[in-house]
């Protein structure tokens, strides 16, 4: 066999057995490390870490720390658990072998030793060890790719890319979603006059704060476009309360914006925050071209949210009929009439959300007492 040798730890208290095994293993192209009892073996394994040893050949009867206890300790350690352990056993001790295999031993080596059996058992265990090492390395790579991907994509979409169900969802599907579109009033004028560094600093701060709220409420961020933010809910992860999550996020964003605006005003920026929110069917999936794909929602619901946002004055959160009906119980709203929206032949009845019932009930009322 031309397979490369491994690094084998031989644990046996009998010098003669160690000597025979060491020579046999060296003859077969392996490197040998010896320990004369379990305690020495454990110290060695812990010092070398998981990568140092490929297979352990373990005698059972030893002073200080016997084979059973050594095996138990190896299997109890996360870092050593996958290390194959072959127990050395005389034929008449087969009962002990069964016990060891139940405890996690990979195989056993009969005494007296036989070169062919030693080679066969060892190469099986070595192959298993190498496969497991490879698997660990792959898993580490996937983890790294996933966390790197999550920095560019919304976490839900990053998760999709590396999950088996994800492929089907990416291929495209139709679903009811809540779309939330928000942007800043007065941003274009501000962008024209501000210094580039100032503009980018301000946007970074704004995106960081709003992005945190998107994640907190479980929204899928489709994109940031300058001051515009499109977030949808109920996809790719289904959310039975997607409308309510969306409106809570919109209200939280408006509050957060007001705090930011307080600081910006001191620097001379005068901006307003508006939101449009709609519920309806959309087609979701991968769009774009090889080399640059996006996960996107397409449908009138998205356009509706965007148009409602355009209609909203600073501080308004405008909802279409279906969205308002779904959140009526938890918000205080006011009708703003039927709006003529670009691209929609019929006028759209809309509501503005003044706040969450829970906040409004607890807020000023308490102070009055």
Partner 1 sequence: MPDDPIDATTFADLLETVGGDREFLAELVETYRADSPSLFAELRAAVAADDAASARRAAHTLKSTSASFGAQRLSGMCREIEAAAAAGNLVGLDESVELAATEYARVEVELRRRASADEVT
Interface with partner 1 (CB under 8 A) = 13-17, 19-20, 23-24, 26-27, 61, 63, 90, 92, 111-115, 118
Closer of 75 and 111 to partner 1 (Cβ): 111
Closer of 112 and 291 to partner 1 (Cβ): 112
Angle at which helices 242-266 and 196-216 cross, to 10° = 150
- Could you tell me if 302 and 178 are in contact, meaning their C-beta atoms sit under 8 angstroms apart? no
C-alpha span between 150 and 158 (Å, rounded)? 5
Closer of 76 and 90 to partner 1 (Cβ): 90
Closer of 22 and 279 to partner 1 (Cβ): 22
Least separation in angstroms between CB 58 and partner 1: 14
Three-class secondary structure of residue 338 per DSSP: strand
Closer of 24 and 160 to partner 1 (Cβ): 24
239: left (phi over 0), alpha (psi -120 to 50) or beta: beta
C-alpha span between 223 and 156 (Å, rounded)? 13
User: Which of 48, 41, 51, 49 lies closest to 9, judged by CA?
Assistant: 41
| Alpha-helical runs (H) found in 217-281 | 242-266
Instruction: Give the burial string for 112-139 (b: 16+ CB within 10 Å, else e).
Output: eeeeeebbebbbebbebbeeeeeeeeee
Exposure of 151 by Cβ count < 10 A (0-12 exposed, 13-18 middle, 19+ buried)? Answer: exposed
Least separation in angstroms between CB 92 and partner 1: 7
Closer of 27 and 163 to partner 1 (Cβ): 27
Least separation in angstroms between CB 111 and partner 1: 6
Least separation in angstroms between CB 59 and partner 1: 9
Q: What's the token pair of residue 51?
A: 């990568």
Least separation in angstroms between CB 78 and partner 1: 33
Least separation in angstroms between CB 155 and partner 1: 57
Closer of 114 and 193 to partner 1 (Cβ): 114
Least separation in angstroms between CB 35 and partner 1: 17
What are the φ and ψ backbone dihedral angles of 194, each rounded to 5 degrees? -75, 155
Q: Which residue has tokens 């050949």? A: 57
């Amino acid at each position: 066999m031309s397979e490369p040798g491994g690094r084998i730890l031989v644990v046996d208290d009998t010098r003669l057995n160690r000597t025979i095994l060491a020579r046999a293993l060296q003859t077969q192209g392996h490197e040998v490390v010896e320990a004369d009892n379990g305690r020495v073996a454990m110290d060695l394994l812990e010092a070398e870490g998981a990568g140092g040893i490929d297979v352990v050949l373990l005698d059972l009867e030893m002073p200080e720390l016997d084979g059973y206890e050594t095996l138990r300790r190896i299997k109890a350690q996360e870092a050593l658990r996958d290390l194959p352990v072959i127990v050395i056993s005389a034929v008449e001790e087969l009962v002990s072998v069964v016990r060891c295999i139940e405890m996690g031993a990979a195989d056993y080596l009969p005494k007296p030793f036989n070169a062919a059996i030693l080679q066969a058992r060892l190469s099986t265990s070595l192959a298993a060890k190498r496969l497991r090492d490879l698997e660990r390395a792959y898993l580490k790579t996937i983890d790294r790719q996933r966390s790197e991907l999550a920095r560019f994509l919304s976490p839900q979409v990053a998760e999709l890319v590396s999950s088996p169900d994800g492929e089907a969802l990416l291929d495209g599907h139709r679903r009811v979603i809540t779309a939330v579109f928000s942007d800043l009033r007065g941003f274009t004028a501000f962008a024209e006059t501000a210094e580039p560094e100032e503009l980018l600093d301000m946007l970074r701060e704004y995106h960081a704060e709003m992005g945190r709220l998107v994640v907190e409420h479980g929204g899928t961020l489709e994109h940031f476009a300058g001051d515009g933010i499109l977030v949808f809910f109920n996809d790719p992860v289904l959310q039975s309360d997607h409308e309510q999550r969306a409106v809570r996020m919109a209200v939280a964003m408006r509050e957060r914006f007001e705090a930011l605006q307080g600081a910006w005003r001191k620097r001379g920026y005068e901006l307003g925050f508006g939101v449009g929110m709609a519920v309806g069917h959309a087609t979701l999936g991968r769009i774009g071209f090889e080399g640059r794909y996006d996960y996107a929602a397409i449908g009138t619901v998205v356009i509706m949210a965007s148009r409602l946002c355009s209609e909203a004055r600073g501080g308004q959160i405008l909802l279409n009929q279906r969205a308002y009906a779904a959140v009526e119980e938890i918000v205080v709203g006011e009708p703003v009439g039927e709006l003529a929206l670009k691209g929609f032949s019929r006028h759209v009845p809309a509501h503005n959300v003044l706040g969450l019932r829970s906040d409004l009930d607890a807020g000023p009322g308490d102070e009055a007492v």
